């Protein structure tokens, strides 16, 4: 027996003793195993079988009404020194965190089965992949991990070969919000989560491992673990460029990753290939380019907002072999959420639908499905070497100020654009909706260490001999004076992606402005759109006075991280502000 297998066995034994589980089940990832778990959950009422004619092998799970989203205020990064976690994280000393969690775990699995879930994040044979083991008492978690990761015997075999894995311990506990915590120990490569059965709090391979722990690992090992989709954009000549893009949760990542080109583009031969919709791990290759994998094997997407108009590829893949969480139900047992045809009979809590109780589907209702069911899924998602990234895109939900698309002048400027990202909050996280918050690289809830060190790590990739991707910032959500979105979005976002790749290939020049490079008039194709010239002008308007105020606030944000903030980033910001201020003062004077 290898020392690592011995270590794994010992850990499982220790946890079984602590939690007093009735039995221990090692999961092998087989279909027979999944079928037994579904049978168990159907019998207990934890799963509801959906209409077998319209949605074969699809199931609904309803979580506790108090357990429907990430709980960032109860999520901690536990490093020996508080400064290493940074002001971007809630911190607790590791010894105190372990003591608090072990007291909760003590005896919590009496009468329950302890499931041992070995999994691989990324293609099973990829050198970019990393493995973990989740111990859980939730069969719902096991089923979802089976869809979201390469879970089972192959992952366990890799763990035995490699001799390292991330330890994740989870229990639903009593589902008591007062006894709910998610603790991360990046220096130990371990996670402890108690009191929640919801997605990112319970599926420890996802945000906990693939972002919070992996981002720390990546800094130690010289790569990047990012909250990004990966798509392939194939042009009519058959050439494919890969784009990694960061957006806060529920701001359109999945829709962009599965984008269907407008009719005219489809006729020309443009195609979109989906590599991943949420997480991207990137590492410099021998050729100096960044190569990326999607560590996930499935999609854990937000159901509301997914429709035939917004994302037909996603809707089509949900007709079989899917798990739905907190959606409504029609009278004939089909999943339902706002935006779909038909009417709901029951809401997400199982009550007869009454608009007075709110929407039928919870705003953060989810679907879990294997990635290969997506019509636009790329076989390159299984490539052990990953895919080369041509462009990195940052984006947020801003009603004004941010143009439709902006290109960074260089890598340092691109890092600054990513660090300055801001977006209105959504239902994917607990708390108020519609509040603007700074969300650098869409990693505010997910970076496993101090943001100042994280920015420095990004900057460190700019070295002689590398061929880094071009960096862009997009804003699909700018509104006009009538309060309506100006840009049509959805499939038409391909028009912006086309310009980006044109920039990568040297086809287009760009207009230099004080905030970065903008498309020249006519370089973004608008044929087929009812978008007047005045609207396009608004999409690319640069208000120097407002930008000066924006960057003054951003400077204060950077200063909040203290001396660890890299001088290179502060210098970049100050240089831009020095150019902006005279123009801003002139505009103020002209406006009286």
Q: Which residue has the tokens 């020095």?
A: 578
What's the whole-number average pLDDT of the chain? 95
Does residue 4 carry a pLDDT above 60? no
Report, as an integer, the average pLDDT of 276-286: 97
Q: How many CB atoms lie within 10 A of CB 570?
A: 15
57 in a structural domain: no
- Judge whether 475 is annotated as a binding position: no
Q: DSSP character for 208?
A: I
Q: Sorting pLDDT into bands at 50, 70 and 90, what band is 583?
A: confident
How confident is the model over 289-329, as pLDDT tens digits?
Answer: 999 999 999 999 999 999 999 999 999 999 999 999 999 99
Do 444 and 511 lie in a common domain? Answer: yes
In the predicted model, is pLDDT for residue 427 greater than 60? no
Average pLDDT over residues 362-388: 97
More confident residue, 416 or 426: 416
Q: Is 39 annotated as a binding residue?
A: no
Q: Which of 312, 347, 371 is the last residue of a domain?
A: 371
User: What would the pLDDT profile of 522-551 be if each residue is shown by its tens digit?
Assistant: 999 999 999 988 999 999 999 999 999 999
Please indicate if the annotation marks 129 as binding a ligand: no
Does residue 413 share a domain with residue 275? yes
**Same domain, residue pair 327 and 402:** no
Contact 116, 26 (CB under 8 A): yes
Residue 490 lies in a domain: yes
What CATH number should be reported for the domain holding residue 248?
Answer: 3.90.228.20
Contact 142, 204 (CB under 8 A): no
- pLDDT band for 591, please (50, 70, 90 cuts): confident
Length, in residues, of the chain: 592
Task: Kindly state whether residues 305 and 200 are assigned to the same domain.
Answer: no
Residues 6+ apart with CB under 8 A from 481: none
Same domain, residue pair 428 and 569: no
35 is known to lie in a ligand binding site: no
pLDDT 10s digits, 10-61: 999 999 999 999 999 999 999 999 999 999 999 999 999 999 999 999 999 9
Domain that includes residue 382, residue range = 225-296+377-542
Percentage of the chain surpassing pLDDT 70?
Answer: 96
Same domain as 467, residue 442 = yes
The reply to whether 312 and 267 lie within a common domain is no
How many domains are contained in the chain?
4
Residues 489 and 526 in one domain: yes
Domain endpoint, select from 371, 389, 417: 371
Find out whether 44 and 112 touch, Cβ atoms under 8 Å: no
174 with 235, same domain: the answer is no
Residue 386 labelled as part of a binding site: no
- Residue 367 CA to residue 352 CA, distance in Å, equals 22
**Residue 247, both tokens:** 């957006």
Q: In whole angstroms, how far apart are CA 165 and each of 4, 56, 137, 308, 313?
A: 9, 35, 20, 40, 34
Q: Which CATH number characterizes residue 168's domain?
A: 3.40.449.10
Residues 239-243 have a mean pLDDT of 98
Average pLDDT over residues 154-161: 96
Is the pLDDT reported for residue 428 higher than 60?
no
pLDDT score recorded for residue 1: 45
CATH of the domain at 304: 2.170.8.10
* Residue 230 clears pLDDT 60, i.e. is over it: yes
Same domain, 504 and 426: yes
Domain presence at residue 56: no
pLDDT at 475: 95
CA 59 to chain centre: 24
CB 197 within 8 A of CB 67: yes
Residue 60 lies in a domain: no
pLDDT at 432: 67
pTM of the model: 0.96
* 130 is known to lie in a ligand binding site: no
pLDDT tens column, 56-103: 999 999 999 999 999 999 999 999 999 999 999 999 999 999 999 999
Q: Count how many Cα atoms sit within 13 Å of the Cα of residue 300 in the half-sphere of its side chain.
A: 28
Q: Is 280 a catalytic residue?
A: no
Q: Kindly state whether residue 55 falls inside one of the protein's structural domains.
A: no
- Please identify which of the residues 251, 280, 374, 447 carries the catalytic annotation: 251
52 within domain boundaries: no
Same domain? 491 vs 512: yes
Residue at 59 is within a domain: no
pLDDT per residue as tens digits for the range 178-226: 999 999 999 999 999 999 999 999 999 999 999 999 999 999 999 999 9
In 213-368, which residue ranges form alpha helices assigned H by DSSP? Answer: 214-221, 253-257, 263-268, 312-317
Is residue 55 part of an annotated ligand binding site? no
Same domain, 466 and 574: no
Is residue 250 part of an annotated ligand binding site? yes
Determine which of 158-167, 389-398, 426-435, 461-470 has the lowest per-residue pLDDT on average.
426-435
364 is in an annotated binding site: yes
Known binder of ligand: residue 516? no
Q: Is the pLDDT of residue 2 over 70?
A: no
Examine residue 480 and state whether it is found in any structural domain, yes or no: yes
Q: Of 159, 190, 222, which residue is a domain's last?
A: 222
């Amino acid at each position: 027996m290898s020392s690592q297998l011995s270590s794994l066995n010992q850990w499982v034994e220790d946890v079984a003793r602590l939690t007093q589980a009735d039995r221990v089940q090692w999961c092998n990832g087989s279909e027979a195993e999944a079928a037994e778990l579904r049978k168990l959950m159907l019998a207990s009422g934890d799963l509801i079988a959906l209409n077998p004619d319209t949605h074969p092998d699809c199931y609904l799970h309803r979580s506790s009404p108090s357990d429907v989203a990430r709980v960032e205020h109860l999520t901690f990064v536990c490093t020996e020194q508080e400064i290493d976690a940074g002001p971007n994280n809630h911190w607790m000393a590791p010894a105190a965190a372990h003591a608090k969690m072990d007291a909760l775990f003590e005896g919590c699995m009496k009468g329950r089965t302890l499931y041992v879930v070995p999994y691989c994040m990324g293609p099973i044979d990829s050198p970019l992949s990393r493995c973990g083991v989740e111990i859980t008492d939730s069969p719902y978690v096991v089923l979802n991990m089976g869809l979201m990761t390469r879970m089972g015997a192959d992952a366990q075999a890799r763990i035995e070969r490699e001799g390292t894995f991330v330890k994740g311990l989870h229990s639903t506990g009593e589902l008591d919000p007062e006894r709910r915590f998610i603790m991360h120990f990046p220096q130990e490569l371990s996670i402890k989560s108690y009191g929640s059965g919801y997605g990112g709090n319970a599926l420890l391979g996802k945000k906990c491992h693939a972002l919070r722990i992996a981002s720390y690992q990546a800094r130690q090992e010289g790569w990047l673990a990012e909250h990004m989709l990966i798509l392939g954009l194939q042009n009519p000549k058959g050439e494919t460029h890969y784009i990694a893009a960061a957006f806060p949760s529920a701001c359109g990542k999945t829709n962009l990753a599965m984008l269907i080109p407008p009719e005219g583009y489809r006729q020309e031969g443009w195609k979109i290939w989906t590599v991943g919709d949420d997480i991207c791990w990137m590492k410099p290759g021998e050729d100096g380019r960044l190569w990326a994998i999607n560590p996930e094997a499935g999609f854990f997407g937000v159901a509301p907002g997914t429709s035939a108009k917004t994302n037909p590829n996603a809707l089509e893949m949900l007709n079989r072999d899917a798990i739905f969480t907190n959606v409504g139900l029609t009278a004939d047992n089909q999943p339902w959420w706002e935006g779909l045809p038909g009417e709901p009979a029951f809401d997400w809590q199982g009550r007869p639908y009454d608009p007075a109780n709110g929407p039928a589907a919870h705003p953060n209702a989810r679907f879990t499905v294997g990635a290969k069911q997506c019509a636009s899924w790329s076989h390159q998602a299984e490539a052990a070497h990953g895919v080369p990234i041509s462009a990195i895109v940052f984006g947020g939900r801003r009603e004004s100020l941010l143009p439709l698309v902006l290109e960074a002048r260089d890598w340092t400027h691109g890092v600054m654009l990513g660090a300055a990202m801001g977006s209105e909050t959504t239902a994917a996280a607990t708390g108020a909706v519609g509040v603007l918050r700074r969300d650098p690289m869409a990693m505010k809830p997910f970076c496993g260490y101090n943001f100042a060190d994280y920015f420095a790590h990004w900057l460190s990739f700019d070295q002689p001999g590398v061929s880094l991707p071009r960096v862009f910032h997009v804003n699909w959500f700018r509104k006009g004076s009538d309060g309506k979105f100006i840009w049509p979005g959805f499939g038409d976002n391909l028009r912006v992606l086309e310009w980006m790749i044109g920039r990568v290939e040297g086809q287009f020049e760009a207009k230099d402005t004080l905030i970065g490079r903008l498309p020249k008039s006519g370089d973004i194709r608008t044929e087929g759109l009812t978008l007047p010239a005045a609207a396009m002008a608004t999409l690319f308007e640069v208000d120097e006075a407002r930008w000066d105020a924006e960057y003054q606030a951003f400077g204060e944000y950077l200063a909040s991280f203290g001396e660890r903030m890299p001088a290179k980033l502060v210098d970049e910001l100050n240089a831009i502000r020095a150019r902006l201020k005279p123009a801003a003062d002139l505009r103020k004077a002209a406006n009286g």
